[in-house]
Structure 1
Amino acid sequence: MEQTLYIDRHYSLVEACKRGDRKAQYELYRLYSKSMFNVCMRILNHIGEAEDVLQEAFLDAFQKIHDFRQTSTFGAWLKQIVVNRAINQLRQRRLEWADVGEEAENVGEEDSPADESDWEIARVRDAIQRLPDGFRTVLTLYLLEGYDHEEIAEILSISESTSRTQYMRAKRKLLELLA
């Protein structure tokens, strides 16, 4: 199978990182940290966990920078690491809740936004966060992050049909929650 090599606009920074240049690492962090934090937040919905996952993902990326083969852009490669880390954190959270034996429930109500569109956005976000983890993860990766079902299947170690089914069920459940 022939592989396509991508010439990344940050190629020189990546190469400098491979040589151990800390300034290049900082520059890549500066360029990508905000968008990668947003990815973490969409999956985890917890600021503290998102910050931790972001830091761990960047550490992983810089430690494995020699494995980056330019078969995608650096940003896509980094996003894959971030998504995998966030999903692992979700799994860990699920295990911790199972060990404790408690049920998590959102009790607090947010102040209602004055603007109708803000209220609708808040309502949709809240509904997405109330989806089961699997549904929310597939829906987020597909709709908000732009992954296709083949990529989602690879990331989550599920079949492509499972990804499609979870996505359809997530949409159906989201509509129920919004009704």
Structure 2
Amino acid sequence: MDTSILYTHKPLVEKSKLGDRNAQYELYELYVDAMYNVSMRMMHIKEDAEDVVQDSFIEAFNNLSSFRYESTFGSWLKRIVINKSINQLKKKKIPIVPIESQMYHIKETPEEVPPKIDIKNIIKGIRLLPSGYQQIINLYLVEGYDHMEISEILGITASTSKSQYHRAKKKLIEIVRTL
């Protein structure tokens, strides 16, 4: 990663570390919409997503001293939002779909994928997936995490993440075909 990107908004971050409320508000304004979208993709309920975002900013500002520019501020904050979203879902007892005890076979051939897929149907299809599948799809396809990162975030093995992703993708294709 270009090191200059790591220091995006460094003056605001440094002022915020010193407790400057105006700098914190500027950072909040820069990132609140993006972080809300991240949380909303996982939470699906406006009020829950708003709560997660607010809690995430509070945690981020309280822990700014631990931010060391090893990533961008935005990606550091995004990790906090995703972790808080997942923790909130766990509190609500929305389970990740366990599949290790099930047998499955995935056949990926070109004829399984429709030639033209409307993005609106894909978004609708993702919302119709079981919550565990939604999490995997959102983390892998939308947020861009790899299976090792997903395994750490969700507390599952990387192979479970991969197999859940493949099952979720297969289920999503079935749903999209019916839309």
Equivalent in the alignment of 1:169: 167
CA contact (8 A) 1:141 1:152 kept: yes
CA contact (8 A) 1:153 1:160 kept: yes
Letter in 2 for 1:175: I
Equivalent in the alignment of 2:88: 89
Residue 55 (structure 1) aligned with residue 54 (structure 2): yes
In structure 2, what is the Cα distance between the partners aligned to 1:140 and 1:11?
A: 29
Q: Deviations 1:99-121 (Å, cap 9, x if unpaired)?
A: xxxxxxxxxxxxxxxxxx9x944
The normalised TM-score by structure 2 is 0.79
Q: Deviations 1:1-29 (Å, cap 9, x if unpaired)?
A: xxx99742111111111100001100110
Q: Compute the displacement of 1:124 (Å).
A: 2.4
1:176–1:61 CA distance, 2 compared to 1 (3 A)? same
In structure 1, what is the Cα distance between the partners aligned to 2:124 and 2:27?
A: 32
Letter in 1 for 2:142: L
CA contact (8 A) 1:127 1:177 kept: yes
Q: Compute the displacement of 1:93 (Å).
A: 2.0
Q: Deviations 1:71-91 (Å, cap 9, x if unpaired)?
A: 211111100000001111111
2:131 to 130, 133, 154: 133
In structure 2, what is the Cα distance between the partners aligned to 1:8 and 1:18?
A: 14
Equivalent in the alignment of 1:159: 157
Q: Equivalences for 1:24-35 in 2 at 5 Å? A: 24-35=23-34
Unpaired runs of 5+ residues, structure 2, are: 95-115
CA contact (8 A) 2:147 2:161 kept: yes
Query: The residue matched to 1:94 in structure 2 has which SS?
Result: coil
Q: Equivalences for 1:36-47 in 2 at 5 Å? A: 36-47=35-46
Equivalent in the alignment of 1:65: 64
Identity within the alignment, %: 49
CA contact (8 A) 2:42 2:135 kept: yes
Aligned CA RMSD, in angstroms, stands at 2.1
Q: Equivalences for 1:92-111 in 2 at 5 Å? A: 92-94=91-93
Residue 149 (structure 1) aligned with residue 120 (structure 2): no
User: How many residues in Structure 1 have an aligned counterpart in Structure 2?
Assistant: 154
The normalised TM-score by structure 1 is 0.79
Query: The residue matched to 2:93 in structure 1 has which SS?
Result: helix
CA contact (8 A) 1:5 1:70 kept: no
CA contact (8 A) 1:5 1:72 kept: no
CA contact (8 A) 2:6 2:73 kept: no
Q: Compute the displacement of 1:94 (Å).
A: 2.4
